[in-house]
């Protein structure tokens, strides 16, 4: 996922109610064996093995990198929920609109303004008007 999509999914994840993510919290807690609120690569590997998934080391590293939006080397609860949303395609119109509406705040919060925003806009801006409109945003999702 590109950084814009990672952040958008994270915004969606943070807007969901507890009912909408039922079961995911328990899954996170099952993987986070030391209960510190962060999933390490080793915890992820063991957690996936417990549920019958046997990934290669390279696949685990790719998964960690894809999910770890803030590049901390661990997966926090919000990143985990965002990854599960992406994997399960739980993206309703209301949540997409909420993510689109609050994207400016997310850009600031997650430091996307520090990266090359022009490159990100060019990748998503299909009509080349220098802006990401709602239809381009939802197409990216």
> Cα–Cα distance between 24 and 30 in angstroms, integer?
10
| Whole-number pLDDT of residue 43 | 94
Contacts of 91 (CB under 8 A, 6+ apart): 9, 12, 85, 141
DSSP, collapsed to helix, strand or coil, labels residue 2 as coil
Burial class (CB in 10 A: 0-12, 13-18, 19+), 39: buried
| Whole-number pLDDT of residue 96 | 65
DSSP notation for 66-104: HH-TT-SSSEEHHHHHHHHHHHHT---HHHHHHHHHTHH
Looking at domain 21-89, its CATH superfamily turns out to be: EF-hand (1.10.238.10)
- Token couple for 70: 């803030």
Contacts of 1 (CB under 8 A, 6+ apart): 9, 66, 86
Q: Residue 124: which of 111, 137, 115, 114 has the closest Cα?
A: 137
Domain boundaries, the chain: 21-89
Residue 111: φ, ψ to 5°: 75, 20
- Digit-by-digit pLDDT tens for the chain (141 residues) are 567 777 777 777 777 788 877 788 888 999 999 999 999 999 988 988 887 877 888 888 888 888 888 889 999 988 888 777 766 554 456 666 676 666 767 666 766 655 566 777 778 788 888 777 777 777 776
Whether the model clears a pTM of 0.85, i.e. scores above it, the answer is no
């Amino acid at each position: 996922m590109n950084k814009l999509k990672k952040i958008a999914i994270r915004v969606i994840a943070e807007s969901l109610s507890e009912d909408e993510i039922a079961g995911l919290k328990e899954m996170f807690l099952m993987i986070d064996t030391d209960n510190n609120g962060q999933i390490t690569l080793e915890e992820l590997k063991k957690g996936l093995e417990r549920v019958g998934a046997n990934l290669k080391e390279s696949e685990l590293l790719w998964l960690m990198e894809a999910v770890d939006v803030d590049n901390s080397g661990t997966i926090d609860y919000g990143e985990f929920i965002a990854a599960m949303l992406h994997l399960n395609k739980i993206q309703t119109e209301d949540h997409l609109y909420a993510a689109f509406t609050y994207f400016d705040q997310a850009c600031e919060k997650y430091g996307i303004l520090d990266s090359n925003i022009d490159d990100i806009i060019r990748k998503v801006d299909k009509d080349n008007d220098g802006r990401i409109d709602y239809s381009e945003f939802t197409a990216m999702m």
